[in-house]
Amino acid sequence: MTIWRTARFAIDLAEPRVMGIVNVTPDSFSDGGAHASTEAAVQHCARLVEEGADILDIGGESTRPGSPAVPLAQERERVLPVVREAVKLGVPVSVDTYKPELMRAALELGADIVNDVWALRRPGAREAVAAHPSCGMCLMHMHRDPQTMQTAPMEGDVLPEVCDFLARHAHELLALGVGSDRIVLDPGIGFGKTVAQNFALLARQQELLAAGWPLLVGWSRKSSLGAVTGIDLAAQRLIPSVTAALLAVERGASVVRVHDVRQTVAALTVWRAMKREQQAPQEPRP
């Protein structure tokens, strides 16, 4: 049994888990700032839990290609009031940030996981999470930075570089005394990769599992789905998003990060029903 150790919860990853996205930003690529106020974001958190989210992921800075950085004070004002209420909902709370000051503040409020698109590479970030006795963390691969990642994406076969990057930064945490069961890895779909490279990461996802850590994968509403389907508006990419989440789980992902929780949970319920029958002892034929 694989367990993801976090501040308040030991998350059983024997079954795939759904992480619901809560964007507390006015410029989200996917929802246009629909949950930018504290009240709206807290209501959205509660709704996602009702819909079956196993984990909530709260972020106060958009990381869409070309998005500007948000000052620390502004990000704190957006995120911390939502975290303060979300930790009362009975599920693990993740904070999507690369700023160590915000990591520490959110963990002090009871957040369980730090989800960092920079893989804790910013000064002080590794130390901030390593100093916590038990918080979980997700390390993501990103090529370049949000402002430039799609102007000059990666070249060639990305699998070796992504695998090496994630394993290397996980081992750096182990060297700081972080327990291996606190770490989950994310290949960073859409973060400095071409459409073909993103789908190569999906097709060959098993290679990412060779490092030995569980995978968290985020395909929800990504532009690569729009590129292959012709669906330009992110909010209309429901069916491609659920399909990609299901394919990621089929290929070994332990956590899928999604906007559309209810629909993803329903799809995984069908998948689980099939798996149960697939694994059930077969009656001998007469």
Q: Which of 257, 262, 276, 285 is catalytic?
A: 257
Confidence of residue 63 (pLDDT cuts 50, 70, 90): confident
Do 262 and 238 touch, CB atoms closer than 8 A? no
- Report the distance separating Cα 256 and Cα 187, nearest Å: 12
Residue 110 has pLDDT above 90, yes or no: yes
The mean predicted confidence, pLDDT, of the chain is 94
- Report the distance separating Cα 246 and Cα 244, nearest Å: 5
Residue 282 has pLDDT above 80, yes or no: no
Do 16 and 249 touch, CB atoms closer than 8 A? yes
Q: Which of 5, 193, 222, 237 is catalytic?
A: 222
| Maximum pairwise Cα distance, the chain | 71
Residue 260 has pLDDT above 80, yes or no: yes
Is residue 168 annotated as a catalytic residue, yes or no? no
Is residue 193 annotated as a catalytic residue, yes or no? no
Greater model confidence, 226 or 281? 226
Nearest residue to 78 via CA among 98, 58, 56, 64: 58
Domains of the chain: 3-279 (3.20.20.20)
Using only C-alpha atoms, the chain has a radius of gyration, in whole angstroms, of: 18
pLDDT in tens, 133-151: 999 999 999 998 877 777 7
Residue 281 has pLDDT above 60, yes or no: yes
Residue 64 has pLDDT above 90, yes or no: no
- Report the distance separating Cα 112 and Cα 137, nearest Å: 9
Q: Report CA torsion sign: 174, 178, 179, 180.
A: negative
Residues with Cβ < 8 Å from 52, sequence gap 6 or more?
Answer: 18, 261, 262, 265
Q: Is 0.85 topped by the overall pTM? A: yes
Residue 91 has pLDDT above 70, yes or no: yes
| pLDDT value, residue 26 | 80
pLDDT in tens, 17-52: 999 999 998 855 555 556 778 999 999 999 999 999
| pLDDT value, residue 286 | 66
Helix 159-175 vs helix 195-203: angle between axes, to the nearest 10 degrees? 70
Return the bridge partners of 251, or none: none
Average pLDDT over every residue of 185-208: 97
